[in-house]
Structure 1
Amino acid sequence: MFAKLAQPYPLGATLCDQGCNFSIHCPESNNIQLILFDERNNKTVIELEHQKMGIRYTFVHGVKAGQVYGYQVQDKSGTRLILDPYAQALNQIPHYTEPFSAEASWAFAKSVVTNHDFDWQDTPRPQVPYEETILFETHVKGFTKRHPEMNEQWRGTYLGLCQPEMLAFFKAQGITSLQLMPVTSCMSEPHLLKMNKINFWGYNTLCFMAPEPRYAVHDAVTEMKTMVRTLHQHGIEVIMDIVFNHTAEGGEGGPQFHFKCLDKSHYLLNSGKDYVNFTGCGNTFDLSYQPSLNIVLDTLRHWVTHYHIDGFRFDLAATLGRRREHFDIHGAFFKAIAQDPLLRQVKLIAEPWDVGPNGYQLGHFPRGWNECNDKFRDTVKGYWLCNHNPIKELATRIMGSRDLFSAGCWPDKLPVNFVSYHDGFTLRDLVSYNHKHNLANGENNRDGHGDNRSNNQGIEGETTRLSVQYKRERQKRNLMATLLFSFGIPHILAVDSLSHTQRGNNNAYCQDNEISWADWQLSEESEQFRDWLAQMIAARKQWMSPFIRAFSGKDRGHHRIHWRRSNGQHMNAEDWQGLEAFALYLGLYKDGEELLFLINHSSIPTRYRLPQGGKWSVICDTSDSQLRPRQIQTTYMQSAKSLTILHRA
């Protein structure tokens, strides 16, 4: 009877009224059995009596949601319990003490059969247009762990992100889309375990479909869905940062959790002697192998279907288009996404590089993908903080990096612009440190990027000197005003809205402590910046988003763009070699709304002559810590090292 219920697809554990179908792809593991565990951890061994194309499967009558299970395989060290790669939940936080032996595998986290019934209360998805999207990169635990007004039981959890205190904050800041750092189950690397540290960021995936249990009070599956539902009810999208480029099993000698035991030579790219490491993390997941491609696509559909996720940011996404040493824009993964009726509707954001050959692929991803624009980051930081004056490059980045992303494909192909990300200095540290201070990571300060393009304004680290503090706050405003009023999708590091410092640590991936936990005890200056940023985000939505919409697609050539000297004259070829004070004029159609950017990179105030035709309204002047609406008409005195944005209807 149950043989008819047994099916090779879908892979994983699939419930029905009569029991559960278990299916696993394991072409290199002929001697594999299903193990079911009861509440006392007693085990029942079940044979996988059916086979098809490297898949072993069976149906087990009477299995209910919550059943703990795994698979038993034989290796040189003995009988090992492995996770189901398709596991949709784990029974505990993954942890082990080195070495991860076959014996130790039986005390490790196990797979859990999951029922995805959930009342979504007919909550619609926000579907925020690209040109209105504000990405807010958020760590589930780190952003709420120290919130002073939140009930302690919710701090650092999925449910913490949807508490009234957080919802009020997100709404006040004008955030449209939370980009969550990895919430898939994660296992810390062996070298961190030896130092009694953890991978706090989560970029070391264990099971692609299982939510990270560290962030749950009781049930990660239900609590994560509750978080998404509540955020959706307040019009906020949820974007998942997801890691498919490598797995937590590392390279040769690394732990064996599943893939290495099931199909060592194919899931993970192999040179014949060792694992190929195009990611810097020990191995490379090979999407040119059909079962690898299948699990990635099944995983994406899983999160969209069962968790109503609005989009994904793909870590080291060049790996997804690899055919070993080469990147292929027409690769199977991209084609599969483009034809999938579910996945082609969500936001797709690529980190368009990895560390392998031909790994830098900015601007080369297919239509329908947005890309993290590190050229914007480097140019804008270099301009404001490092006394670089590449105004041609700055102009290109402000105007949407159209050398890489054609405006004819906007708004769906807008670049994702950013100044700070989880890796690197926070915004506050960019203006407070010249050098990285990563000793807490236990790697003798050798880790982390050396090219930070930061400027401490004369003193390394925290200071009470008011003149230095003023310079730092002004530079923060310069960076964020440039970000918010450039053509593209702005990406904001969540802790930057609180002016959080990591004390100069630019690689705090293993710091599950106050270095990474957002500091909600704000100084007067930090409160001013938080409020200024919220007002600037609102101003972007009101004034900049319509310009992005108008400059996109077939109508992009019907508008006015002029680059001017401070005296109002048009810039010439010589001016583009290093003019310190200049202006950008944007006008819609022949006589529509106008924006004027007054950019003063010099160390002295500069008077600008404004285009005639009526009064201009001041949106912001970054030399001022507050937005002061006022009107001007003929000239404007622009302070040194600052930016003013004007609007005229």
Structure 2
Amino acid sequence: MDPSQLNRLGPGQPYPLGAVSDGLGVNFAVFSANATRIELCLFDARGRKELRRIDLPECTDEVWHGYLPDAQPGLIYGYRAHGPYDPRNGHRFNPHKLVLDPYARQLTGPVSWSDALFGYRLNHARADLAMDRRDSAPAMPKAVVTEDLPFNWGNSKAPHIPWTDTTIYEVHLRGVSMQREDLRQPLRGTCAALADPRFIEHVQRLGVTAIELMPVHAFLQDRFLLERGLRNYWGYNTLSYFAPEPTYLQRGPNDLRQAIRRLHAAGLEVILDVVYNHTCEGSELGPTLSWRGLDNASYYRLVPGDERYYINDTGCGNTVNLSHPRVLQMVTDSLRYWVQSYGVDGFRFDLGVTLGREGTGFDPGSGFFDVLGQDPDLARVKLISEPWDIGPDGYQLGSHPPGFAEWNDRYRDTVRRYWRGDEGMRGDMAARLCGSRDIFDRRHRRPWASVNFVASHDGFTTQDVVSYDGSHNEANGEGGNDGHSENYSHNWGAEGPTQDEGILLRRQRVQRALLATLFLSDGTPMLLAGDEFGNSQDGNNNAYCQDNAVSWLDWTQAQSDSGRALSNFLARVLALRRAHPSLRATRFGDASQELCPGISAISWFDSEAKPMDQGAWDDPQGRAMLLRRAALREDGSVDVTLLLLNPGPEALGFTLPEPAQSWIRELDSAALSPAAPVSEGSITVEGNSLTLLAAANVNGASS
């Protein structure tokens, strides 16, 4: 039906929120506690011409609602909210601005940057206090009414990988395929490329179990970046919490569902990186696109006593107010929607501390954590927090409630410093290798709560950790003042690319040691996509705005001899992790518990097989060490491994500890040699490398 003929709204229902088709019409429901009137705006099929404005006739419990008979899926719409324009008291209503439905499940059209997108008059002497009366609709994307049909998931059920067996591969949906020369151009950078069998085969061969996608919620391209000729590549700038990013789709939202179905069929879980701590509307000087125009005082945390300004615990201009029940409902409805409708297996929460903030600060018993912990859909999926923000007491590593895993940046920094050769790192390195029990062994949490990584999207790739002493972010246009200042990296003799064979060999050796350590540590390992073949960002440690070859994975490197060798090495390390329960502890337990005569769960020795005492731990010059771990197998036998670490530049002999065992050298990060028996009671570990030994037989039982 022509939307111009749709001009009569019935009362409808206040639930569910959003635009929901029942086949005979569409129910519209949107929350606003402070609006005095809300208009539904209908557009033509291309979203360019506004055809009708119709008042939502009812408001129940602060939800405005109405039912449009004969309306069908595909209808294009937006809202205009009336109310006071009174920024000093937190209100920024401006009916001249079209605003998106926060529950929109599909968007059409881009944001076309214009001064009309701002609710106030730019460059006016009164700044954001002066209301702007230009119509923003021509510059705005619009919402699309979707048909809530069940998706055919076929026989591909979610893998439900236990946390203890989980290994995560962090990847950018667009960047993973933009330089795939074996893909047709229209497929690159889309969900279809993510589901390509060759990519799936690559990650299967590597041995990871979960794909963690950087933000796929629809996001805004920042005006200041576009003016510099750059783009928001990472996507931490959410425009809609229910709609997938349109540029990642070819046909519609089912593209993403199809990709997830194929990943599930391959035994891979899918985790979404989600951004509920702030929105793309920014500070009081940002545009009016959705939440600000619908009910600024409810959706955002405002400075008490001066509600013109936003609390900025996120560093992004605003902070979403999860203390408000309707805002908390929006976030949990969004999470539940992605689980139920898209089949995702978990979430990584950007700036998770912000989500746990109440009026008194971070609270592990906050409403957000409580809701997720009891929700029948959300409590069963994987939940990962980035345990910091920039607000007061913003660093909360280890303070999240049971059920959550946390990104462990202490792990990243310690492992980098240890293999760089820094002094005094023995004790900290020991703690990180054993699941960071000093941080997570509380409230009956398990070692998997520590998400270990040596590189992530935010910072250097592992290749760059061993190739650059400092960051090289000049292309970002911020004078090199952005990004981490403490990378704990080392170039090993030359800054950036070099032809010096000695430097290259040293870098490769340290790189393998870093990555092997990651998968030989207790906890949940997370690998940055591309690290398995030496992908570089040319020293850029803050490539958020580099939607180009700087950030895109270089698959020609994956096909090089060095790239293939590194991928094969990592696949072997992951296979060893799967094969040996001593390399992935299921619980912290008692480290001194003897699992067989003379062998406890965790034991530490120096290179002469002497048990580490306090003096050895405190020795700033001490670097090399040997970790013996033991764990029971399902058949009751005992798995025992030795991890020998030598971060120094020269080869070092290790005496193997008593009781004597028949050892197999499973891994040597320096020699890349196949497994072989160890015939002596000692072994040499080359400089900047590690060796893994496994007991061939313990108490007559095969390990």
TM-score (norm 1): 0.96
1:257 and 2:289 correspond: yes
State the one-letter code of the partner of 2:31: H
1:356 and 2:391 correspond: yes
Alignment of 1:36-55 (within 5 A): 36-39=42-45, 41-42=48-49, 43-55=51-63
Q: Taking structure 1 as reference, are residues 581 and 77 closer, same or farther at Cα in structure 2, changes over 3 Å only?
A: closer
Does the residue aligned with 1:71 lie in a helix, a strand or coil?
strand
Instruction: Give, in angstroms, the shift of residue 498 of structure 1.
Output: 2.5
Q: Which runs of 5+ in 2 are unaligned?
A: 1-7, 86-92, 119-133, 696-702
State the one-letter code of the partner of 1:48: L
Higher mean C-alpha deviation, range 70-79 or range 123-132? 70-79
Does the residue aligned with 2:515 lie in a helix, a strand or coil?
helix
Match of 2:629 among 586, 600, 603: 586
| Deviation sequence 1:464-489 (CA, Å, 0-9, x none) | 11000001101111111111011000
Match of 1:425 among 449, 460, 484: 460
Alignment of 1:192-591 (within 5 A): 192-219=225-252, 221-271=253-303, 272-324=307-359, 326-406=361-441, 409-411=444-446, 413-522=448-557, 523-543=560-580, 545=581, 547-549=583-585, 551-552=587-588, 557=593, 559=595, 560=600, 561-578=602-619, 579-588=622-631
2:100–2:143 contact (8 Å) kept in structure 1:
yes
Instruction: Give, in angstroms, the shift of residue 546 of structure 1.
Output: 5.4
Question: Distance between the aligned counterparts of 1:5 and 1:231, measured in 2?
Answer: 43
Q: Taking structure 1 as reference, are residues 456 and 555 closer, same or farther at Cα in structure 2, changes over 3 Å only?
A: closer
Q: Which residue pairs with 1:608 in the alignment?
A: 654
Question: Distance between the aligned counterparts of 2:668 and 2:473, measured in 1?
Answer: 35
1:109 and 2:141 correspond: yes
Instruction: Give, in angstroms, the shift of residue 257 of structure 1.
Output: 0.7
Alignment of 1:74-153 (within 5 A): 79-98=96-115, 100-101=117-118, 102-117=134-149, 118-153=151-186
Instruction: Give, in angstroms, the shift of residue 269 of structure 1.
Output: 0.7
Instruction: Give, in angstroms, the shift of residue 549 of structure 1.
Output: 4.5
Q: Which residue pairs with 1:643 in the alignment?
A: 690
Does the residue aligned with 1:80 lie in a helix, a strand or coil?
coil
CA RMSD of aligned residues (A): 2.0
Match of 1:23 among 9, 21, 29: 29
Q: Taking structure 1 as reference, are residues 45 and 201 closer, same or farther at Cα in structure 2, changes over 3 Å only?
A: same
Match of 2:20 among 14, 19, 23: 14
Question: Distance between the aligned counterparts of 2:442 and 2:629, measured in 1?
Answer: 15
State the one-letter code of the partner of 1:154: L
State the one-letter code of the partner of 1:237: E
State the one-letter code of the partner of 1:637: T
Question: Distance between the aligned counterparts of 2:317 and 2:395, measured in 1?
Answer: 19
1:130–1:412 contact (8 Å) kept in structure 2:
no
| Deviation sequence 1:429-467 (CA, Å, 0-9, x none) | 000011111111111111111010000001000001100
Does the residue aligned with 1:437 lie in a helix, a strand or coil?
coil
State the one-letter code of the partner of 2:295: D
2:436–2:447 contact (8 Å) kept in structure 1:
no
Question: Distance between the aligned counterparts of 2:437 and 2:413, measured in 1?
Answer: 16
1:180–1:239 contact (8 Å) kept in structure 2:
yes
Q: Taking structure 1 as reference, are residues 30 and 5 closer, same or farther at Cα in structure 2, changes over 3 Å only?
A: closer
Question: Distance between the aligned counterparts of 2:308 and 2:11, measured in 1?
Answer: 41
Instruction: Give, in angstroms, the shift of residue 550 of structure 1.
Output: 5.0
2:582–2:639 contact (8 Å) kept in structure 1:
no
1:367–1:413 contact (8 Å) kept in structure 2:
no
Instruction: Give, in angstroms, the shift of residue 73 of structure 1.
Output: 3.4
1:379–1:397 contact (8 Å) kept in structure 2:
yes
Instruction: Give, in angstroms, the shift of residue 614 of structure 1.
Output: 3.2
| Deviation sequence 1:282-317 (CA, Å, 0-9, x none) | 000111111110100000001001000100000000
Q: Taking structure 1 as reference, are residues 367 and 377 closer, same or farther at Cα in structure 2, changes over 3 Å only?
A: same
Percent of matched pairs sharing the same residue:
37
Match of 2:665 among 612, 618, 627: 618
Question: Distance between the aligned counterparts of 2:608 and 2:167, measured in 1?
Answer: 35
TM-score (norm 2): 0.88
Match of 2:78 among 55, 66, 70: 70
Instruction: Give, in angstroms, the shift of residue 557 of structure 1.
Output: 4.5
Question: Distance between the aligned counterparts of 1:412 and 1:606, measured in 2?
Answer: 31
Question: Distance between the aligned counterparts of 1:20 and 1:557, measured in 2?
Answer: 64
2:435–2:448 contact (8 Å) kept in structure 1:
no
Q: Taking structure 1 as reference, are residues 418 and 109 closer, same or farther at Cα in structure 2, changes over 3 Å only?
A: same
Instruction: Give, in angstroms, the shift of residue 259 of structure 1.
Output: 1.0
